[in-house]
Structure 1
Amino acid sequence: MAVLALEIRLGSTIPSIGFCPCSSLKLCNQLPENHQYQVEAVVFDNTGPEWKHYDWSKITTIVVTRDHPSELLCHAHANGVRVVWKADVQLKILADLSQQSNWINQNVNLINDLFLDGVHLDIMGHVSHVHELLKFVAQVKDIFRQRIPGSQVSVSIPWTPVCPDGKCYDYASMAQSCDFLYVKAHDIRSDVRDECFAKANAPYDETLSGLSEYIRLGVDSKKLILGLLWYGYDYPCDHLSEPGRCKLKVFPFESVSCSSPVVEQVEYKQIMQMLPRSITGRYWDDNYKSPYFVYKDKDVYHEVWYDDPESLSLKSSIVKKLKLGGIGAWFGNSLNYSANPTAAMQTEDMWNALCPIRLKWRT
């Protein structure tokens, strides 16, 4: 299996692939601008062979985040699916026009050499150069469209608008400067600002309110993609009084009363292996509309909060409720694609939860 193992840094020389890795040259052609779906379904891939078993009928765009096999590109294009590169944007380049120019040129060359269909921008850190960011996103789209016609440009944004000192970023303008904004509706409870207890990673009400707030600020709902998670949090309890009351050790950080650096991120496939060995079985919290369970490791109780087909289906219904542009999953690799019948059913249910209203978004 050929693997495209490229890392881009400012000032580095980008190697050219120089040949089409697919059986047909047509599969190396970037998908045209008029190749659109009514609803976007964006899946992030974290490298590995799992992509071979994805439900490709439910995907419109794959975001590759690390080294990726060339066969993934060929298979995606054969299924009418775009493949875009996840590019991290360091804050320092926003204040330097020459670095911005270098960054854009290097990424355009890289993506063109790899026959990919665009770029997904992930802004690293809290942005203080708001106007520079808006200009940068618009410039990225303009240059990519000039050099790679039909290329897709998207941006990751937080689960809710960031409003330091009551001043929100101009997300409405940002949405107009790219194809869509991917709302990362996860890690909502990573820093606890109230009671120091284990809680759901992405509660339904917060997910809905965060998206609604973007729309209230003037963002076109069709430019918003609801990003869901396929992993959970494993919290070690400092004290467990009962299921759902897992008290955490207090680690104050800045304005956060309870930041727990000991929490572990666990993929859904691991969670499904842990659940049968739990001491409680699956519990459901109706306030957060999320499942959880408790297990014991040596003398320490752990509480695991996660999303499953039931909780994900509820959040997926927000796409229709708010008339969003689509839905996404982080990561496609997090499911169990083995031949085990139980695992196969669990995995199928997770894919179906992306679009519970109908069997697939694509028509």
Structure 2
Amino acid sequence: MKRLLSSQGGARLSMALLLHLRLCSSICPCELPSLCNPISDTRDFEVFVFQVGGKAWKFYDWSQITTVATFGKYDPELMCYAHSRGSRVVLKGDVPVKEIVDPAFRAAWIDQKVALAKQQYMDGINIDIEQIVNKSSAEYYALTALVKETTEAFHKEIPGSQVTFDVAWSPKCIDRRCYNYTGIADSCDFVFVMSYDEQSQVWTDCIARANSPYNQTLTGYDDYIHMGINPKKLVMGVPWYGYDYSCLSLSKAHACSIKEVPFRGAPCSDAAGHQVPYRKIMNQANTSISGILWDEKQKAPYFEYLDSHGTIHQVWYDDPRSISLKAGYVKERGLRGIGMWNGDCLDYFGGSVAQQQTKAMWEALKPK
């Protein structure tokens, strides 16, 4: 959907897709037909998991999970199992913001998503739109309308369904995403705050830093709450991955200078590094030249290693210690819950050490 649909074109698209889904609808894929019923219960504490594909989900800690957002290929086996555990499974929703200015296009897009959710026996949608939006622009108001209209349609067509929206770690126009945060939060069930990639725009020295610094992360939540968003509308997102940076130079104080990679107006960004899942980070740590270090100011672990070309790298990430600190804030401020990007970053298939590391990461989600 990369072109703007006319009102007539949007209606044709909606009708065609609905007809296709009706013709292709299948019998419930679950062993028990009742497992195809939508989940309607609401739990006091939300644990929101992003799943990106594969079968690692079979080894998740299902004693905690309330919602799985499927960002990979649809897996009916996952849907059936999640429902057997009382957990929701929701669609991914993404659409170019330029196109949703047209009310007919919005209506067609929503019709498609509702029909797809019904066909796949799913429980709602997670709207993940991380595009540039200028304050008070046509897109600004259209995005709020999209969230409101999507929520109304899902709640009507799938009773008990859940509509959520992903927001940046701070409401201060991060990455030029100047959204109507209060209006969006009011219009959906809750927002998932992506408290990671917090170095996407670096305005100070170009050095490697934590992916999710403790004080910076908490300031973002304070700002959301101070602007009038109910804490029960906020789910804290934590990273189960980190960043690997090549150091142009490394000081005795462990300041790793990185190359300048601009992003949306900022001179430097975490794009100077590359994302690494926690399972790989734990293997890298075993061959580091520094051992695992702890930055007290950012309250995050990191380490340094030499690659085969003799270049020093610095790796910043989150571990059970840093995540537990943030989970404590979730409890203290009464947030709706916690979750992560993404559930497939852990080692579910390794030996006893890997299994202990994976268990500890799931345990860290529980506020102490």
Q: TM-score when scaled to structure 1? A: 0.91
Say whether residues 1:332 and 2:343 are aligned partners: yes
Q: CA deviation at 1:28?
A: 0.5
* Match in the other structure for 1:360: none
Distance in 1 (CA, whole Å) between partners of 2:172 and 2:100 is: 18
Q: SS where residue 335 of structure 1 aligns?
A: coil
* Match in the other structure for 1:107: 113
Per-residue CA deviation, residues 304-354 of structure 1 (Å, 9 max, x unaligned), is: 000000000001111112110111111110000015100000000000000
Say whether residues 1:95 and 2:101 are aligned partners: yes
Paired AA for residue 198 in structure 1 = A
Distance in 1 (CA, whole Å) between partners of 2:184 and 2:321 is: 33
Per-residue CA deviation, residues 192-227 of structure 1 (Å, 9 max, x unaligned), is: 210111010110001100001000000011000001
Per-residue CA deviation, residues 263-289 of structure 1 (Å, 9 max, x unaligned), is: 110000000111001111100000100
* Match in the other structure for 1:142: 152
RMSD: 2.0
Q: SS where residue 191 of structure 2 aligns?
A: strand
Q: SS where residue 21 of structure 1 aligns?
A: coil
Q: Is the 8 A contact 1:91 1:124 kept in 2?
A: no
Distance in 2 (CA, whole Å) between partners of 1:275 and 1:310 is: 16
* Match in the other structure for 2:89: 83
Say which of 218, 221, 238 aligns to 1:211.
Answer: 221
Say whether residues 1:53 and 2:62 are aligned partners: no
Paired AA for residue 32 in structure 2 = S
The structure-2 alpha-carbon separation of the partners of 1:295 and 1:255, relative to structure 1 and needing over 3 Å to count, comes to same
Q: SS where residue 57 of structure 1 aligns?
A: coil
Q: SS where residue 128 of structure 2 aligns?
A: strand
* Match in the other structure for 1:131: 141
Say which of 312, 317, 322 aligns to 2:333.
Answer: 322
Distance in 2 (CA, whole Å) between partners of 1:199 and 1:262 is: 11
Q: TM-score when scaled to structure 2? A: 0.90
Distance in 2 (CA, whole Å) between partners of 1:332 and 1:260 is: 22
Looking at both structures, which has the greater relative contact order when contacts are Cα pairs under 8 Å and sequence separation is at least 6? 1
Q: CA deviation at 1:252?
A: 4.1
The structure-2 alpha-carbon separation of the partners of 1:307 and 1:220, relative to structure 1 and needing over 3 Å to count, comes to same
Paired AA for residue 347 in structure 2 = N
Identity of aligned pairs, percent?
41
The structure-2 alpha-carbon separation of the partners of 1:103 and 1:273, relative to structure 1 and needing over 3 Å to count, comes to same
Q: Is the 8 A contact 2:208 2:314 kept in 1?
A: yes
Distance in 2 (CA, whole Å) between partners of 1:43 and 1:52 is: 13
The structure-2 alpha-carbon separation of the partners of 1:322 and 1:184, relative to structure 1 and needing over 3 Å to count, comes to same
Q: Which moved more, 1:17-26 or 1:203-212?
A: 17-26
Distance in 2 (CA, whole Å) between partners of 1:303 and 1:295 is: 7
Distance in 1 (CA, whole Å) between partners of 2:223 and 2:69 is: 26
Q: CA deviation at 1:243?
A: 5.9
Aligned 1:1-363 pairs, distance under 5 A: 11=13, 13=17, 15=21, 16-32=24-40, 35-128=41-134, 129-163=139-173, 169-242=179-252, 244-253=254-263, 255-259=265-269, 261-297=271-307, 298-357=309-368
Distance in 2 (CA, whole Å) between partners of 1:47 and 1:317 is: 30
Paired AA for residue 76 in structure 2 = S
Q: Is the 8 A contact 1:285 1:291 kept in 2?
A: yes
Q: What is the total number of aligned residue pairs between the two structures? A: 346
More strand by share: 1
Q: Is the 8 A contact 1:243 1:294 kept in 2?
A: no
Q: SS where residue 317 of structure 1 aligns?
A: helix
Q: Is the 8 A contact 1:250 1:260 kept in 2?
A: no
Q: CA deviation at 1:242?
A: 3.1
For structure 1, list consecutive stretches of 5 or more residues without a partner in the other structure.
1-8, 358-363
Per-residue CA deviation, residues 76-133 of structure 1 (Å, 9 max, x unaligned), is: 0000000001111321222111211110011110010000000010113022322222
The structure-2 alpha-carbon separation of the partners of 1:309 and 1:260, relative to structure 1 and needing over 3 Å to count, comes to closer
Q: SS where residue 213 of structure 1 aligns?
A: helix
Q: Is the 8 A contact 1:48 1:68 kept in 2?
A: no
Distance in 1 (CA, whole Å) between partners of 2:62 and 2:49 is: 10
Paired AA for residue 107 in structure 2 = S
Paired AA for residue 239 in structure 2 = L
Q: CA deviation at 1:191?
A: 2.5
Q: CA deviation at 1:257?
A: 2.5
